[in-house]
């Protein structure tokens, strides 16, 4: 556990040293929501939820894309000898989880400021968002670990990750609609159960397969 | 002798390929005809209890599988030719 | 499922070079089953039914003359028992006062709608039932909607129970059920639906081989799993195309953003991404390993995508509103006799083509290395 924390700290230090990276993501969030809002002019609750997740999707793709991209070949080898793949993976997942949470809260804040906060049940949305961040950070970290081994890293991450994200995203959208009060459905526990089981599936598969894909 | 035989085989294959592509083109024309008819008369596909929808579905399935098989055939052909040339 | 998986294993173990060419038994099985499906799927007639009723509304306390258009009906053949009924529910039925038959497919029936209903509602959906000796009963649910009477006349309540609808003969011979809206396209159950079964099974077999590759690391297993993905994609594409042709003529649009349409399109995207990924890796070992990993990951995610989400959302698909098309009532006994062979036949065909693809890929690998 300590070793994982070390890895995360190193990761964060590198990220903060190159300040443009984190600021870049935040700017991306800001400008994307600004563009969307200037197109729509107003966001009724239903569209608010959809817009939120569309922007979140692309921002998270942007942010996670660089997970394995930063390191040179040499450092991979170094990591491989030093850490167990699972340690490395967990560290990356936690680090990405942090990034996604930052994006989530920033985006929520930005959209609330420019388009208003429409939530009937903000608590539900908070829980949904956190679950989404956990699930997507596992999924995206796993996919980018595959994509890094190919020639077209950036485009392949998007191509492979987007369709895989959709089942999770559909669930999240339903739960968001419940949070916003735009659905007649008043029993979200089914969806919550499905989301939880999908996230555990994704994380379980990713944890199982990553060590196998990593050695090369 | 060896060379002659392989050439003979190659000719056979190209001939069979030609025949196949002729069949495929003919089938395509038939389907196109059918759809063209459907386009001019919007109710054609829906007439007689929409039986033509079922016909269209069957034709699409058969045609796609046939085209796929032809492509596969071509692939095998290339492999065999390469083997003969070696 | 179990049978086909074991068949898949069997066929791939039996690819040793035979001295003389003999088609394997299961391939003959595929041929026979598909022939049977294509013949039986086409020649068995549809049960007589009602395609159209005019007008679609009536008001209570009025006489309404319904223009009825039948499908596959023979109104003229046996007019002895000819009668027409409007059913509100159970035994609450109205009998037509007068029926005029024009030809085998057209008749006019006059009904008097009583100015009283057993329960209160905004509109009363009535089911039209036409009975004759040759066809048995032809039914059209929700044929007309009756609006409540302006002046309620409780004494007319007895009209609803005056006649009893009973003793309907069942039409002799085998036929597929007539379903409103679907009509002949009910036959697509044998052609469109098995595509999805085949696709899911092929992807499943592929994931199985990926698991094997993960354990053993044999390049041959990678070749097998990829062959199954390729053919699975073809079948998925076919399912989508055939579904679109049907949807255009039923829902009036090629794409209606129905849950099942979306989910299956996503499934195809996931596996297409896999093929793109493969093509952009140069090292063969790396390629095989990434394929195995992604394939297993994708297949596990495919299960909620194809089996759970469509069940949780409303779909336009026949037999929907909760349960996808396999519900007991949607698939009657006669249809099962063709549907199950169709599923097995198309699955076997898929396995057959996959085996061919695998053999080609193997030859290709041998010539190059």
In the predicted model, is pLDDT for residue C324 greater than 50? no
CA dihedral C266, C267, C269, C271 (to 10 degrees): 160
Query: Is C273 part of the contact surface with chain A (CB cutoff 8 Å)?
Result: yes
For the ranges A13-17, A29-33, C68-72, the lowest mean pLDDT is seen at A13-17
Q: How confident is the model at residue A65 (pLDDT cuts 50, 70, 90)?
A: confident
Q: How confident is the model at residue A72 (pLDDT cuts 50, 70, 90)?
A: low
Q: How confident is the model at residue C326 (pLDDT cuts 50, 70, 90)?
A: very low
The pLDDT of residue B40: 47
Closest CA to C306 of C210, C206, C197: C197
Nearby residues of A53 by Cβ (< 8 Å), 6 or more positions away? A169, A172, A173, A176
Please tell me the total number of residues recorded for chain B in this structure.
86
Closest CA to C235 of C358, C350, C360: C350
DSSP of A44-69, one letter per residue?
-HHHHHHHHHHHHHHHHHHHHHTTTT
The pLDDT of residue A216: 63
Percentage of residues in chain B having pLDDT higher than 90 = 24
Q: Distance (Å, rounded) from C-alpha B44 to C-alpha B37? A: 7
The per-residue pLDDT of chain C, averaged, comes to 86
DSSP C183: G
Nearest to B46 among C182, C237, C249 (CB): C249
Q: Distance (Å, rounded) from C-alpha C137 to C-alpha C84? A: 9
| Interchain proximity B61–C367, CB inside 8 Å | no
For the ranges A40-44, C192-196, C212-216, the lowest mean pLDDT is seen at A40-44
| Higher-confidence position of B12 and A69 | A69
Q: Is C touching A (3+ C-beta pairs, cut-off 8 A)?
A: yes
The CA-based angle B59-B65-B66, given to 5 degrees, is: 85
Q: How confident is the model at residue C265 (pLDDT cuts 50, 70, 90)?
A: very high
| Interchain proximity B56–C245, CB inside 8 Å | yes
Q: Distance (Å, rounded) from C-alpha A111 to C-alpha A48? A: 8
Cα C23 to Cα C18, C290, C341, C344: the distances in Å are: 11, 35, 20, 18
Cis ω on the peptide bond leading into residue C116 (within 30° of 0)?
A: no
Helix (H) or strand (E) holding C106: strand C106-112
Closest CA to C221 of C235, C231, C207: C207
How is residue C292 written in tokens?
A: 């195995």
Instruction: Enter the ipTM.
Output: 0.86
Q: Distance (Å, rounded) from C-alpha A62 to C-alpha A24? A: 10
Write out chain C residues lying below 8 Å of A206, CB-based.
297
| Interchain proximity B57–C242, CB inside 8 Å | yes
Percentage of residues in chain A having pLDDT higher than 90 = 20
Percentage of residues in chain C having pLDDT higher than 70 = 90
Q: Distance (Å, rounded) from C-alpha A135 to C-alpha C15? A: 43
* pLDDT tens-digit series, residues B39-80: 545 577 777 888 899 999 999 999 999 999 999 989 888 888
Percentage of residues in chain A having pLDDT higher than 70 = 91
Three-class SS state of A162: helix
| B-contacting residues in C 108-127 (Cβ below 8 Å) | none
Q: Distance (Å, rounded) from C-alpha C254 to C-alpha C246? A: 8
Contact A60, A51 (CB under 8 A): no
The per-residue pLDDT of chain A, averaged, comes to 84
The pLDDT of residue A147: 85
User: What are the strands of the beta sheet with C106-112, ordered from one edge?
Assistant: C49-54, C63-71, C106-112, C98-103
In the predicted model, is pLDDT for residue C242 greater than 80? yes
Nearby residues of C195 by Cβ (< 8 Å), 6 or more positions away? B61, C235, C236, C238, C239, C242, C346
Q: Distance (Å, rounded) from C-alpha C70 to C-alpha C135? A: 11
The pLDDT of residue C328: 46
Half-sphere exposure of A136 (CA within 13 A, CB side): 38
Query: Is C251 part of the contact surface with chain B (CB cutoff 8 Å)?
Result: no
Q: How confident is the model at residue C231 (pLDDT cuts 50, 70, 90)?
A: very high
In Å, how far is A146's CA from the nearest CA of chain C?
6
In the predicted model, is pLDDT for residue B8 greater than 60? no
Percentage of residues in chain C having pLDDT higher than 90 = 40
* pLDDT tens-digit series, residues A87-129: 888 888 988 898 899 999 999 998 888 888 878 888 889 999 9
The pLDDT of residue C12: 60
Write out chain A residues lying below 8 Å of C276, CB-based.
156, 159
In the predicted model, is pLDDT for residue B6 greater than 60? no
In the predicted model, is pLDDT for residue A61 greater than 80? yes
Taking residue B37's Cβ as centre, other Cβ atoms within 10 Å add up to 12
Query: Is B39 part of the contact surface with chain C (CB cutoff 8 Å)?
Result: no
DSSP C155: G
Which range is most confident: A111-125, C226-240, C281-295? C226-240
Pairing label, strands C49-54, C63-71: antiparallel
The strand pairing partners of C144, in sequence order, are C126
Closest CA to C23 of C12, C31, C13, C35: C31
The pLDDT of residue C232: 96
* pLDDT tens-digit series, residues C107-158: 999 999 988 888 888 889 999 999 888 888 888 888 899 988 888 888 888 8
Query: Is C286 part of the contact surface with chain A (CB cutoff 8 Å)?
Result: yes
Closest CA to C197 of C348, C358, C33, C305: C348
Nearest to C277 among A156, A162, A202 (CB): A156
In the predicted model, is pLDDT for residue B2 greater than 50? no
* pLDDT tens-digit series, residues A169-202: 888 988 888 888 877 777 788 888 989 999 999 9
pTM confidence score = 0.83
| Interchain proximity A160–C273, CB inside 8 Å | yes
The strand pairing partners of C111, in sequence order, are C64
Closest CA to C80 of C53, C102, C99: C99
């Amino acid at each position: 556990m300590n070793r994982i924390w070390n890895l995360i700290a190193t990761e964060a230090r590198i990220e903060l040293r190159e300040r443009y990276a984190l600021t870049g993501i935040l700017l991306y969030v800001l400008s994307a929501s600004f563009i969307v809002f200037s197109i729509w002019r107003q966001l009724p609750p239903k569209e608010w939820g959809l817009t939120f997740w569309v922007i979140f999707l692309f921002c998270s793709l942007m942010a996670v894309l660089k997970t394995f991209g930063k390191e040179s070949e040499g450092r991979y080898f170094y990591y491989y000898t030093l850490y167990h793949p699972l340690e490395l993976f967990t560290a990356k997942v936690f680090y990405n989880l942090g990034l996604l949470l930052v994006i989530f809260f920033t985006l929520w804040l930005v959209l609330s400021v420019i388009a208003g906060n429409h939530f009937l049940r903000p608590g539900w949305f908070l829980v949904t968002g956190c679950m989404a961040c956990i699930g997507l950070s596992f999924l995206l970290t796993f996919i980018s670990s595959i994509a890094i081994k190919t020639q077209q890293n950036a485009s392949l991450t998007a191509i492979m990750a987007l369709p895989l994200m959709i089942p999770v995203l559909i669930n999240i959208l339903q739960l968001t609609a419940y949070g916003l009060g735009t659905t007649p459905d008043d029993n979200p526990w089914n969806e919550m159960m499905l989301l939880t089981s999908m996230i555990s599936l994704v994380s379980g598969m990713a944890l199982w397969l990553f060590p196998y894909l990593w050695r090369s | 002798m060896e060379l002659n035989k392989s050439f003979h085989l190659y000719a056979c294959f190209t001939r069979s390929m030609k025949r196949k592509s002729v069949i495929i083109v003919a089938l395509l024309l038939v389907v196109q005809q059918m759809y063209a008819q459907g386009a001019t008369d919007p109710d054609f596909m829906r007439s007689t209890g929409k039986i033509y929808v079922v016909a269209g579905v069957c034709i699409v399935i058969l045609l796609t599988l046939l085209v796929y098989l032809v492509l596969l055939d071509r692939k095998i052909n290339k492999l065999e030719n390469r083997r003969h040339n070696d | 499922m179990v049978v086909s998986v074991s068949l898949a294993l069997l066929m791939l173990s039996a690819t040793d070079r035979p001295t003389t060419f003999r088609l394997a038994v299961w391939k003959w099985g595929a041929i026979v089953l598909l022939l049977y499906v294509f013949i039986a799927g086409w020649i068995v007639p549809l049960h007589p039914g009602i395609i159209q009723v005019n007008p679609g509304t009536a008001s209570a306390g009025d006489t309404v003359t319904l223009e009825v258009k039948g499908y596959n009906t023979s109104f003229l053949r046996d007019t002895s028992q000819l009668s027409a009924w409007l059913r509100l529910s159970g035994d609450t039925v109205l009998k037509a006062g007068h029926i005029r038959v024009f030809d085998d497919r057209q008749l006019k029936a006059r009904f008097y709608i009583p100015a009283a209903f057993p329960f209160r509602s905004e509109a009363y959906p009535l089911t039209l039932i036409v009975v004759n000796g040759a066809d048995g009963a032809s039914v059209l649910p929700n044929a007309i909607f009756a609006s409540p009477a302006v002046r309620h006349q409780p004494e007319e309540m007895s009209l609803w129970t005056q006649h009893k609808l009973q003793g309907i003969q069942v039409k002799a011979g085998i036929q597929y059920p007539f379903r409103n809206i679907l009509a002949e396209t009910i036959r697509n159950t044998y052609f469109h639906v098995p595509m999805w079964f085949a696709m899911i099974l092929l992807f499943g077999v592929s994931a199985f081989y990926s698991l094997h590759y993960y354990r053993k690391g044999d390049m041959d297993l990678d070749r097998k799993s990829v062959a199954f993905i390729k053919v699975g994609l073809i079948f998925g594409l076919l399912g989508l195309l055939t579904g679109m042709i049907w949807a255009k003529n039923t829902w009036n649009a090629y794409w209606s953003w129905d849950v099942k349409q979306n989910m299956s399109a996503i499934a195809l995207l996931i596996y297409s991404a896999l093929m793109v990924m493969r093509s952009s890796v140069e090292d063969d070992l790396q390629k095989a390993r990434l394929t195995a990993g992604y394939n297993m990951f994708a297949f596990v995610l495919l299960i909620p995508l194809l089996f759970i989400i469509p069940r949780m959302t409303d779909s336009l698909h026949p037999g929907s509103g909760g349960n996808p098309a396999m519900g007991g009532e949607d698939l009657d006994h006669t249809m099962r006799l063709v549907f199950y062979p169709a599923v097995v036949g198309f699955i076997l065909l898929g396995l057959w083509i996959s085996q061919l693809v695998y053999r080609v890929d193997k030859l290709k690998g041998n010539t190059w290395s």
